[in-house]
Structure formats: structure tokens, C-alpha cells
Amino acid sequence: MYELIIVGAGPAGLTAGLYAGRYGLSTLILEKAVVGGQIILSEKIENFPGFPAGIETNALIEKMRKQVENVGVKILMQEVVKIEFDNTLKKVFSPEEVFFAKAVIVASGASARNLGVKGEDKFIGRGISYCATCDGPLFKNKEICVVGGGDRALEEAIFLSRYAKKVYIIHRRSEFRGSHILEEEAKRSKKINFVLDSVVEEIMGEDRVSTVKIKNVKTHASTSLNCEGVFIFVGIQPNTTFLKTTLNLDKDGFIITDENLKTSAEGIFAAGDCRAAILRQVVTACGDGAIAAHSAHQYIAPYK
Ligand code: NAP
């Protein structure tokens, strides 16, 4: 029996663990895949305060992990598949075990969204990627496309331009959702080309990607781009399917909370990218983790 179980070891879960440990709560973090969550798919983070030159994402996460372990919080690699609750008792199920706690913080994060076009399933791992850090070096001196117009598309296009001969950013509008500073940096790159007001209709090839069929949404003209890689960064979907019958979710599956990060179930809190919010950054995930741990601490206090 733990006082607190945290689901997920991304920045939100690790910060919640740090605060919970410092409040003296017996705390377990359960993580299904990898400590750090989806931010470790990016090589570097430039907008986390305190690091004027940016910091390698792995280095930042390693510091967070050590800090959590220093306050006595254990991280166990197991996937949470279900949460049940009965007044103050919360049951957290993995395929192997059931864990018990007085309170739970869900910080299960989000995953890359698929583009949903013809050819996408066929060429995953054969030219299509959702991770520039993992696969970028494979495209040295090749022509590649990046799809999307948010922070990730811009960040990763800049990163990929280190390796690729040419990078096309294909975005469905002419304005970018991502930050101005990244847009300007991408525009300064001689290797990055913009294909705006355009959507991908199909990704084609024999064994591997060779061509992307694009349609201009204003002129309706269709064209083809020869490229050997397609990196897709068109947003995220929350990792909340295991909670569908447990908590109130919004129409996209993000967990609805109040400002203290309480969910619809008493004693269950949510933090980070899995939560309905206006901004999803590492720094806001950390802020969420701190608030959720504070709320969980207040909730647990009468039952101590
Ligand atoms: P995002 O900000 O939601 O942007 C998604 C982009 O993909 C948008 O430009 C969107 O176009 C486009 N898009 C969505 N569906 C599409 C479709 N079917 N076809 C073509 N284009 C489509 O997502 P993201 O850039 O992947 O970033 C995910 C989250 O991580 C965001 O909340 C972001 O702020 C955050 N992030 C944080 C950091 C950090 O903390 N340092 C770094 C990177 C990312 P429209 O603009 O037209 O909607």
C-alpha cells in the first residue's frame, strides 16, 4: 500500500514524484515505456528556464530522475492498464500486479498522432518516421519532408537539416502554429524549403518511400515531391484509453481537471500532456506535477 501512485515518468510524473517525496509521501511511479516520456524524442530543449544555451533532453531527464530517486521515490517499469477506486482505496492494475494507494496522479502523457493518409501504414520504418532524433542520421544527404506546422515540426526540421541535403516543410496553412523564433531559424536555413497551404495526399514508393503527393488547398493543384523520408509531426493524442470508463475526458480524450488538477474521481489527479490544457510544454508539465502533488498531499493528509 502506497500513499501515492504516479502513472508516468515524463516531466510531469517526475516532478510530481519529487514534490511527493519531499512531502514525505510513500510514492511509487509506474512507467510503461521509457523514463522521460515523449520529450526524449527531441534531442535538445531550448525553452526550459535556467539553460540559456539549451540542454540535451536526455541530460535534463537524467537530472530529474536522479532528483526523484534522491527523495526515496521508486520508479517501476510496468504499464498501467486500469485504475479502480472505492472511496479512499485506489487500485492500479498492471498486466502483472495490482498496486494499492490512497491517491493517484495520472501523468501518462501523449503520443504522436498519425497523419492518416494513404501509404502511411505501409511505409512506417521504411522512410516514414515520427522521431527525428532516432532516425535523422539515416537520411544523410537525402531529400526529406517534414509534415506539420507546430513547434515539433519546426524544431525537428532544423535538427534534420544537419543531416539531410534538403528538407521540405509541408504545412496546411501559411501561418505556423509553432513559435516565431523557430520559424525564423528555419527560414534562415538554406536547406529548408517551405511548401505551404498544402496537404499530403499520399505517400508512395516501391519498398521504401520515394514520392509524396501533395495538394495545394488554395489552388487545388496536385504536385509530387521526390523524397526518401517523411517525418510526421502533426500533434499528439493523449495516452488515456485505459481511463475511458474511470475519468471524465474531453472529446479528444484529454483528462478534464479543475485548477487544482483534481479529476472527476476523488483522490485522482492529472498532470502534463494527458490533461486538457491550453499549453503543453515541458515547463508546464513540471508545473502541473508540482500542483498535482500538492493537491494529492492535501487529499491524503486526513487519512495519514
Ligand atoms: P501541435 O502544436 O498541435 O501542432 C500540430 C501541427 O500539425 C499544426 O501545425 C497542425 O496544423 C498540423 N496538423 C494537425 N493535423 C494535421 C493533418 N491532419 N494534416 C496536416 N497537418 C496537420 O503539435 P506538435 O508540434 O507536434 O507539438 C505537440 C505538443 O508538444 C504541443 O503542445 C507543443 O507545444 C509541445 N512541444 C513542446 C516543446 C517544449 O516544451 N519545448 C517542444 C515541442 C513541442 P494547424 O496549425 O493548421 O492546426
Instruction: Give pLDDT tens digits for 91-108.
Output: 999 999 999 999 999 999
The ligand 1 atom at the shortest distance from the C-alpha of residue 149 is 9
Whether residue 224 is contained in a domain is answered as yes
Domain boundary, last residue among 173, 202, 232: 232
As a whole number of angstroms, the distance between CA 128 and CA 229 comes to: 6
Task: Assess whether the C-beta atom of 199 lies below 6 angstroms from ligand 1.
Answer: yes
Query: Domain of 273: which CATH number?
Result: 3.50.50.60
- Select from 182, 281, 288 the residue to mutate for testing ligand 1; criterion: most ligand atoms less than 8 Å from CB: 281
Q: Per-residue pLDDT averaged across 77-99, rounded?
A: 95
The ligand 1 atom at the shortest distance from the C-alpha of residue 153 is 25
Burial call 271-284: b when 16+ CB within 10 Å, e when fewer: bbbbbbbeebbbeb
CA atoms within 13 A on the CB side of 303: 16
Residue 75 contacts residue 107 (beta carbons within 8 Å): no
Whether residue 33 is contained in a domain is answered as yes
Domain boundary, last residue among 178, 202, 232: 232
pLDDT band with cut points at 50, 70 and 90 for residue 271: very high
What domain range is 139 assigned to? 128-232
Task: Assess whether the C-beta atom of 238 lies below 6 angstroms from ligand 1.
Answer: no
User: In this structure, which residue's CA is closest to atom 11 in ligand 1?
Assistant: 149
Instruction: List 93's β-bridge partners, or say none.
Output: 82, 98
Task: Assess whether the C-beta atom of 235 lies below 6 angstroms from ligand 1.
Answer: yes
pTM of the full structure = 0.88
Whether residue 265 is contained in a domain is answered as yes
Same-domain check for residues 84 and 157: no
Instruction: List 54's β-bridge partners, or say none.
Output: none
Nearest one of 108, 104, 82 to 5, comparing CA atoms: 104
Same-domain check for residues 70 and 46: yes
pLDDT band with cut points at 50, 70 and 90 for residue 43: confident
- What distance lies between CA 222 and its chain's CA centroid? 32
Domain boundary, last residue among 194, 215, 232: 232
Whether residue 122 is contained in a domain is answered as no
Q: Which has the minimum average pLDDT: 24-28, 68-72, 146-150, 241-245?
A: 241-245
Same-domain check for residues 28 and 98: yes
**pLDDT for residue 41 is more than 90:** no
Whether residue 120 is contained in a domain is answered as no
Same-domain check for residues 272 and 257: yes
| 112 CA to centre of ligand 1 in angstroms | 9
Summarize pLDDT for 102-142 with one digit per residue, the tens: 999 999 999 999 999 999 999 998 999 999 988 999 999 99
As a whole number of angstroms, the distance between CA 294 and CA 212 comes to: 49
Q: Considering its fold, how many domains does the chain have in total? A: 2
| 128 CA to centre of ligand 1 in angstroms | 17
pLDDT band with cut points at 50, 70 and 90 for residue 87: confident
